[in-house]
Amino acid sequence: MSVRTASKSTAAKIGAAFALALCASAFDAPPAFAQKSEGPVTEVAVTGGQRALLRLAVVTPTGDALGGQVAQTERRDFTFSSLFQVLDEKSFVANAAKEGAGIDVASWRTVGADGVIKGTVANKAGAIHLELSLFVVSRGTEAVLKRAYDVPQAGLRGAVHQFDNEVVKYFTGSAGSFGTRLVFSATVGKGEKGIFSIDSDGEGLGRLQAVSNVATAPATGPGGVYYSAGLPDGTYQLFRVGSREPVVRNPGLVFGVAFGGQKMALVISQRGESDVYVGAADGAGLKKATTGGINTHPAFGPSGQMAYVSNAGGSPQIYVEGKRVSWKGTYNMAPVFCNDPDGARILYMGREGTNWDIFSVAANGDASSTRRLTQDQGSNTYPSCSPDGRQVAFFSSRGGIYLANPLGQNQQKIADVQGESLRWEGN
């Protein structure tokens, strides 16, 4: 696949697309699109408050060369989580072989570790047996968490993610979101768009099958990934990956979808208007839920409330159930609810001047609660929130998909991919 250079007039083209009510299907010029780099994780400093990080030592599992893959997956998970400071293995003074199944507490205190992860991995004709243990240095030599997994080699990373989620739960009381995936659309050729998925740690990038070479605005819902497809007759209809039949048949143009609980929201453009319709998750009983202006980008919150974009008041702004909630940025789009551990919030992309940045606001729309997650770091678009609310993903003109915590700190590039309509599975 060839690599394309992102257009410098992205903001202008996004504005034109909104005016045409084409939602996420025509927002950006051909973006750069490439496999993720294999180099070291890049950390970008962001000013703001600090959170204390647990210092975690990840020891490469013994027993097989796959131990390196296990350790790399763990280090990426914990680094991206914004909860841990992953210590450099070169600093370790403990002798893992002599330690056996426990740990030498004094050795790990010397390097400042709060927690230690050790394990073994065995590969027998493609069948992998993995054992991982978590030690808390202040708790002594015995493991506080031990798990064993028997998986095919293709399932090794998934087993590691599962263990890492349990480590997060041990320290915080709720599991992490490692092993989930993101979906998005991207330009793949002149006049062509495809839909893609990528694991939340930047691995496993792949194009999803679609009924058309113009496939946009993906979202996860009951039974898989849904998307809008441009058909030869000039219409756009909603499809689910794996099926060639439209989910619903509508005389208008369907440009986007969102799911929440037992509800579906569709963006339908017809007779020169664009509105959000809400019905059952299978598309039954759709009823118009917005009036006035151009209305797009629906997103459901944890209590069933719906956010969307409307220009009814002039410039495009974020609304929840008819109430404006965005107060920073002159042109705001792409809302998504985020169940931040500090309280439910709404993420969105906002334009000030020529650049786009990521903002968040409390779900009740209190203007004083507005946060700016990015600034003076190029253009940053299409925020998405992890199911556990601890991570925010977005596209950046710095060159790919970035992760940050809900304060915008610990920004990490996970993949050299540019696109639009980024959604996080499970949220």
Is 60 exceeded by the pLDDT of residue 287? yes
- DSSP-H helix ranges across 173-232: none
Least confident of 92-96, 261-265, 413-417: 92-96
Closest CA to 420 of 24, 107, 148: 24
The structure tokens 């931040």 sit at: 340
Contact predicate 362/386, CB 8 Å: no
Is 90 exceeded by the pLDDT of residue 34? no
- Per-residue model confidence (pLDDT) at position 422: 97
- Per-residue model confidence (pLDDT) at position 421: 96
Q: What is the pLDDT of residues 73-85, one digit of tens each?
A: 999 999 999 999 9
| Distance from C-alpha of 411 to C-alpha of 164, rounded to nearest angstrom | 20
212: DSSP letter: S
Q: Is 66 helix (H, G, I), strand (E, B) or coil?
A: coil
Q: What is the pLDDT of residues 376-388, one digit of tens each?
A: 999 999 999 999 9
Is 50 exceeded by the pLDDT of residue 168? yes
- Decide yes or no: CATH 3.30.465.10 for domain 15-42+181-424: no
At 396, list the tokens: 């950046």
- Per-residue model confidence (pLDDT) at position 353: 82
111-141 exposure pattern, b = at least 16 Cβ within 10 A, e = fewer: bebbbbbbbbbbbeeeebebbbbbbbbeeee
What are the residue boundaries of the structural domains of the chain, listed by start?
15-42+181-424, 51-172
Contact predicate 303/273, CB 8 Å: no
| Distance from C-alpha of 371 to C-alpha of 355, rounded to nearest angstrom | 17
- Per-residue model confidence (pLDDT) at position 17: 35
| Average pLDDT over the chain, rounded to an integer | 87
91: DSSP letter: G
- Per-residue model confidence (pLDDT) at position 292: 85
Angle CA 53–302–242, to nearest 5: 100
Between the alpha carbon of residue 24 and those of residues 224, 277, 420, the distances in Å are 19, 16, 7
Q: What share of the chain is helix, strand, coil (3-state, %, to 5)?
A: 15, 40, 40
H or E stretch covering 193? strand 192-199
Least confident of 15-24, 111-120, 164-173, 193-202: 15-24
Least confident of 9-23, 307-321, 391-405: 9-23
Contacts of 221-228 with CB under 8 Å at 24 or more apart are 221/257, 221/259, 221/264, 221/281, 222/259, 222/281, 222/282, 225/183, 225/195, 225/197, 226/257, 226/259, 227/185, 227/195, 228/23, 228/24, 228/25, 228/254, 228/255, 228/256, 228/257
End-to-end CA distance of the chain: give it in Å, rounded.
30
Q: Is 211 helix (H, G, I), strand (E, B) or coil?
A: coil
Is 60 exceeded by the pLDDT of residue 12? no
Task: Give the list of residues 6+ apart from residue 264 with CB closer than 8 angstroms, or none.
Answer: 221, 257, 258, 278, 279, 280, 281, 282, 283, 286
| Distance from C-alpha of 277 to C-alpha of 103, rounded to nearest angstrom | 58
Q: Average pLDDT, stretch 279-294?
A: 92
- Per-residue model confidence (pLDDT) at position 98: 84
Is 60 exceeded by the pLDDT of residue 1? no
- Per-residue model confidence (pLDDT) at position 51: 58
Q: Average pLDDT, stretch 288-296?
A: 92
| Distance from C-alpha of 400 to C-alpha of 210, rounded to nearest angstrom | 23
Closest CA to 75 of 40, 125, 44, 48: 40
- Percent over 90 (pLDDT), the chain: 75
Please give the full DSSP string across 271-337, using - where no structure is assigned: TTEEEEEEEETTSTT-EE---SSBEEEEEE-TTS-EEEEE-TTSS-EEEETTEE---SSSEEEEEEE
- Per-residue model confidence (pLDDT) at position 357: 96
- Decide yes or no: CATH 3.40.50.10070 for domain 51-172: yes
| Half-sphere exposure for 273 (CA within 13 Å, toward CB) | 11
152-176 exposure pattern, b = at least 16 Cβ within 10 A, e = fewer: eeeebbebbbbbbbbbbeebeeebb
Highest mean pLDDT among 7-16, 48-57, 298-307: 298-307
Q: What is the pLDDT of residues 86-136, one digit of tens each?
A: 999 999 998 877 888 899 999 999 999 999 999 999 998 879 999 999 999
Q: Is 8 helix (H, G, I), strand (E, B) or coil?
A: coil
